[in-house]
Amino acid sequence: MPDQPHAAHPQLFTWEFAADPYPAYAWLREHSPVHRTTLPSGVEAWLVTRYADARQALADSRLSKNPAHHSEQAHRTGRVGIPGERQADLMTHLLNIDPPDHTRLRRLVSKAFTPRRVAEFEPRVQQLTDRLIDSFAERGEADLIHEFAFPLPIYAICDLLGVPAEDQDDLRDWAGMMIRHTGGKRGGVGRAVKQIRGYLADLIHRKRADLGDDLISGLIRAGDHGEHLTENEAAAMAFILLFAGFETTINLVGNGLFALLRNPVQRTLLQDSLARGESGLLETGIEELLRYDGPVELATWRFATRPLTIGGVDIPMGDPVLVVLAAADRDPARFSDENTLDLARADNPHLGFGHGIHYCIGAPLARLEGQRAIGTLLTRLPDLQLAADPAELRWRGGLIMRGLRELPVSFTPR
């Protein structure tokens, strides 16, 4: 065993590290479960890797989401927070604020994500999924990230927000610029965010004159009915829904399919159950894929508003705390056979969607998209095979999310 995780993995959170961070996380859980490290950006932060500590930290109100509590104020230089959000008018979104503002803003959008509203969305998600598969099914080969996992969520969120069909390809291109640059070069992200910001401001303006049944119209109506929603808050909300619902879902579909292609026994069990018209294994299976190789590696930034103790370690006031969901979800103290993919896993309270008041508001939509995408693909292209050496595949690093850049596959043309 190395003394330091760095001995096994020269640097945490680099692109090479992203290919398989789990051995380093196992080391941290065992030897330094609340670990102070210097991130590639130069910011010092605490990593929390055990399940029990992670769950507790996610629900601890002494940990603020507001970057103003950071002793270094690194958010001013864009070194903490979500890539590109530094434009001040996008900062006031759910993942950067605490109660009571958080409670007020979250209530406004929660209506859009009730199980009933999301169920109404199912035919549209199915149609999008089928249309995307149609576009490559006759070729016998595809890159499932670029041609499938990437476009599906962006079109779904555009529909949800009320982005007109003729504008959706622009959003798709800008969102693509955002994730292509994730993991280092921030210039491209900044440009893409600027364009998205400008577009959303214009869209909010246009919707005001012609309200519809979509989420942005709902936000405008709420603001007009005295809910104290500023125009910046509405734009920041639209931005965070786009950001939080986009790359995450790409990674659920991408990482999920990759895991299935590498675990043929589990994959066959799933395909057999789908062929029998059952949905149970697909439902527990999506939860297991979220646990086993989830889209969000680290929960977003939290800052100690006073000195506190996590897992017996003292954290000074003003220090950033990063909860490593990917490490917590493989903690053997909580999950038996933690490194085994078991689609039927029954006891699975994973943290893939977070925990506490910032628990993922889009979870019902994400589950729907994951189930439709993976279920339909394995049903329509049953002999899908990986068309590359798994060790050669490139991953998108970056701090918060982790997913494949490409997933080449082959199959019998249909």
The correct pick among 179, 296, 399, 404 for binding ligand HEM (CB under 6 A) is 296
**How far apart are the C-alpha atoms of 354 and 25, rounded to whole Å?**
18
Out of 132, 203, 360, 377, the only residue in the binding site for ligand HEM (CB under 6 A) is 360
CB closer to ligand HEM out of 24 and 366? 366
Instruction: State which residue, 220 or 242, has the beta carbon closest to ligand HEM.
Output: 242
User: Contacts with ligand HEM in 175-214 (CB under 6 A)?
Assistant: none
Q: Token digits for 375?
A: 């279920």
Binder among 154, 229, 234, 366 for ligand HEM (CB under 6 A): 366
Distance CA 167, CA 215 (A): 16
Rounded CA separation 291/181 (Å) = 26
Question: For ligand HEM, what does the binding mask look like between residues 99 and 118, x meaning CB under 6 A?
Answer: -------x------------
Query: Which of these segments, 143-151, 200-208, 227-235, 236-244, binds ligand HEM (CB under 6 A)?
Result: 236-244
**Least distance from ligand HEM to the Cβ atom of residue 96, Å:** 8
299 near ligand HEM (CB under 6 A): yes
Minimum CB distance to ligand HEM smaller for 335 or for 353: 353
273 binds ligand HEM (CB under 6 A): no
Q: Is 362 in the site for ligand HEM (CB under 6 A)?
A: yes
* Candidate residues 128, 257, 310, 365; the one interacting with ligand HEM per rule CB under 6 A: 365
Shortest-Cβ-distance residue relative to ligand HEM: 362
326 binds ligand HEM (CB under 6 A): no
Enumerate the β-bridge partners of residue 37.
45
Task: Give the binding-site size for ligand HEM (rule: CB under 6 A).
Answer: 27
Nearer to ligand HEM, 27 or 366 (CB): 366
Residue of 389, 105, 61 whose CA lies nearest to 219: 105
Integer CA distances (angstroms), 125 to 138, 345, 365, in order: 21, 26, 9
Structure tokens at 134: 């149609």
353 vs 411, beta carbon nearer ligand HEM: 353
Residues 84-88: contacts with CB under 8 Å, at least 24 apart: 84/178, 84/186, 84/189, 84/190, 84/192, 84/193, 85/193, 85/239, 85/243, 86/190, 87/193, 87/194, 87/197
Q: Residue 243 and residue 106: Cα distance in Å, rounded?
A: 16
> Should residue 352 be labelled a site residue for ligand HEM when binding is judged by CB under 6 A?
yes
Around Cβ 68, how many Cβ atoms within 10 Å? 11
Distance CA 290, CA 294 (A): 4
Beta strands in 156-312 (DSSP E): 302-304, 308-310
Nearer to ligand HEM (CB atom), residue 66 or residue 249: 249
241 is a site residue for ligand HEM (CB under 6 A)? yes
Closest CB to ligand HEM among residues 12, 351: 351
Tokens at 340, concatenated = 């085994």
Interface with ligand HEM (CB under 6 A), residue from 248, 271, 273, 371: 248
Binding mask 78-97 for ligand HEM (x = CB under 6 A): ----------------xx--
Query: Whose Cβ is closer to ligand HEM: residue 58's or residue 220's?
Result: 58
Three-state SS for 143?
strand
Beta bridge partners, 63, equal 304
Cβ of residue 97: shortest distance to ligand HEM, in angstroms? 8
Establish if 324 lies at the interface with ligand HEM (CB under 6 A): no
- Report the SS3 class of residue 167: helix
- Residue 162 and residue 234: Cα distance in Å, rounded? 13
Find out whether 32 and 50 touch, Cβ atoms under 8 Å: no
Cβ–Cβ under 8 Å, residues 390 and 142: no
Q: Which is nearer to ligand HEM, 27 or 152 (CB)?
A: 152
Classify 216 as helix, strand or coil: helix
Cβ proximity to ligand HEM: between 242 and 411 the closer is 242
Q: How far is the CB of 239 from ligand HEM (least distance, A)?
A: 10
Work out the angle at residue 222's Cα, subtended by the Cα atoms of residues 216 and 227, and round it to the nearest 5 degrees. Answer: 135
User: Binding to ligand HEM (CB under 6 A): which residues in 384-413?
Assistant: none
Residues that bind ligand HEM (CB under 6 A): 58, 94-95, 106, 157, 240-241, 244-245, 248-249, 252, 290, 294-296, 299-300, 352-354, 358, 360-362, 365-366
